[in-house]
Structure 1
Amino acid sequence: MSTYIKPRRTVRRASFWLGLTMVLAGVGILGYLAWTVYGTTFLSKQHQQDAASKLEAAWGSGHTEVITEFGSAEAIIEIPRLGADYRIPIFAGTSDKVLGAGLGHFSGTAGPGEVGNFALAGHRITHGEPLRDLPKLREGDEIRVLTREKTYVYALTSNGDDLIVPFTSVWVTDPLPDNPERGGVEPEQVEGQRLITLTTCSELFHTDNRMIAFGKLVAEEPTP
């Protein structure tokens, strides 16, 4: 009785193709991750610049907003602490499409300069990452929201990384956010304020929690 032994050459060939397949799979995964983090951000930054330019052109023509492929752009936000060139368009709604081109304005919340809570959302990583540096912001930092006729100047009333909540904590977009945790971070509990809220993911690669920063209107001025 004899035992069949597979030729070494066949074993080596199988090992070679298996190894090559694993290497190619690894390269593909790395390529996908690189595109997700860097590729989408590169494209989104271009979309942000394009939308901001189109919106300013629309203002020059007497319109208050501009319709782009990503939705309706209604304002531009500037945050001096994040750089002189930080100018991000604000779109109506918070769909994935909108957040791929700028900041999203939560439906049903106050508009720029209005009484209530002007609540905004943006990516912290990928897709232009407009709020990646939210943790760098500090109480008192200026947030400028430009519309066709007026620029609304808000000042933060909390640091950018003072408050982290589960993504289900919808109270942060209420007209007057009231933290259910006694003693927690919240705006001054006075009716009739004109507030702004910035929301983004608290971790770079997880979406379970949100980082929140609150601010209040401190000035209005004509848009240049």
Structure 2
Amino acid sequence: MRLHVVHHGIRRRRALRRRALWAGGEVLVTVGILMLLLVAHQLWWTNRQARQGAEHKVEALERQWEGGLGDPGGSGDDPGDGSDPDPAPGDGGDSGTSVPSASPEPPGERSAAADRPSTPRRSQAYAILTVPRLGLRVPVAEGIGKADVLDKGYVGHYPGTQQPGQAGNFALAGHRNTHGEPFRYINRLRPKDTVEVETRTATYTYTVDRTLPQTSARDAGVIQPIPRSTVHPGRGYTDPGSYLTLTTCTPEYTSRYRLVVWAELAEVRPR
């Protein structure tokens, strides 16, 4: 009868392999759990935090306006630690492209701009955007910085574009995914849907007119005073007016392109 002899060296190597496999498995499981926690943080926790913060800011603005308190141009959120770059359409970032101001109004014509507040300071929440079709009601803050505006669940106003009710283009950006994702479903807006912008002095109602499903992140033409795509020249406007532009990233969970929705001013109701 032959006996199978196993040398101690072989046993040690097998034990080492088993321990290595076990340790490798533990590392993979740990990494997987950390990845799941990161995804949960990005897709759930940031949305929860940002939405709660945005809701509280909307309530604070409403209380402030009802009480006739505050200077819209001189109070609000923390000013931050720097200035906004010249904007390009999107949910943050810079392009080095400046946005010209709209032409002055003809003499003798009174518009809603006559009652507009002074220019808000950087990161100040000063208006409320309401989109009935989407059940959306969020603050509008000055600037498109991520940390001090967009990541709070707010919608950001492109510096250099016009203010609500003014002749020209009141252009806004918002996250499509994470951090409250206020613009996640703006692709569902259709012509004749309404969008309201409330300020301390008035409510401006815009009517959705057209959509640009996808354009370059550097297509600054869509937020010009007369919005018209420089990438798709046939998309946009040719005549002056009072426009509202909503921009966000597309496709979802990427920032490669921009989705654009345009609306025109239809009604102004003083508060």
Specify the alignment match of 1:100 in structure 2.
Answer: 151
Distance 1:117 1:183 in 2: 17
| TM-score, normalisation: structure 1 | 0.90
CA positional deviation for 1:4: 4.3
Structure that is richer in strand per residue: 1
Unaligned runs of 5+ in 1: none
Specify the alignment match of 1:15 in structure 2.
Answer: 21
Distance 1:104 1:182 in 2: 24
Given candidates 169, 183, 187, the residue that maps to 2:219 is 169
Specify the alignment match of 2:77 in structure 1.
Answer: 68
| TM-score, normalisation: structure 2 | 0.75
Given candidates 248, 252, 261, the residue that maps to 1:200 is 248
Specify the alignment match of 2:210 in structure 1.
Answer: 158
Specify the alignment match of 2:115 in structure 1.
Answer: none
Given candidates 239, 246, 251, the residue that maps to 1:190 is 239
Matched to 2:166, the amino acid is E
Matched to 1:67, the amino acid is G
Structure 2 contact 140–157 (Cα < 8 Å) conserved: yes
CA positional deviation for 1:182: 6.2
Distance 1:197 1:180 in 2: 15
Distance 2:36 2:266 in 1: 46
CA positional deviation for 1:213: 0.5
CA positional deviation for 1:149: 1.5
The alignment yields a C-alpha RMSD, in angstroms, of: 1.9
CA positional deviation for 1:38: 1.0
Deviations 1:99-130 (A, max 9, x none): 01210000010000001100000000000000
- 1:128 counterpart = 2:185: no
CA positional deviation for 1:26: 1.1
Given candidates 192, 198, 209, the residue that maps to 1:146 is 198
Partner SS, residue 33 of structure 2 = helix
Given candidates 150, 157, 180, the residue that maps to 2:230 is 180
**After the TM superposition, which parts of structure 1 deviate over 4 Å for at least 4 consecutive aligned residues?**
none
Identity of aligned residues (%): 32
Partner SS, residue 26 of structure 1 = helix
CA positional deviation for 1:204: 1.3
Unaligned runs of 5+ in 2: 1-6, 81-122
After TM superposition, the structure 1 stretch with the greater mean CA deviation from structure 2, 175-184 or 39-48, is 175-184
Structure 2 contact 213–260 (Cα < 8 Å) conserved: yes
Structure 1 contact 199–211 (Cα < 8 Å) conserved: yes
Specify the alignment match of 1:35 in structure 2.
Answer: 41
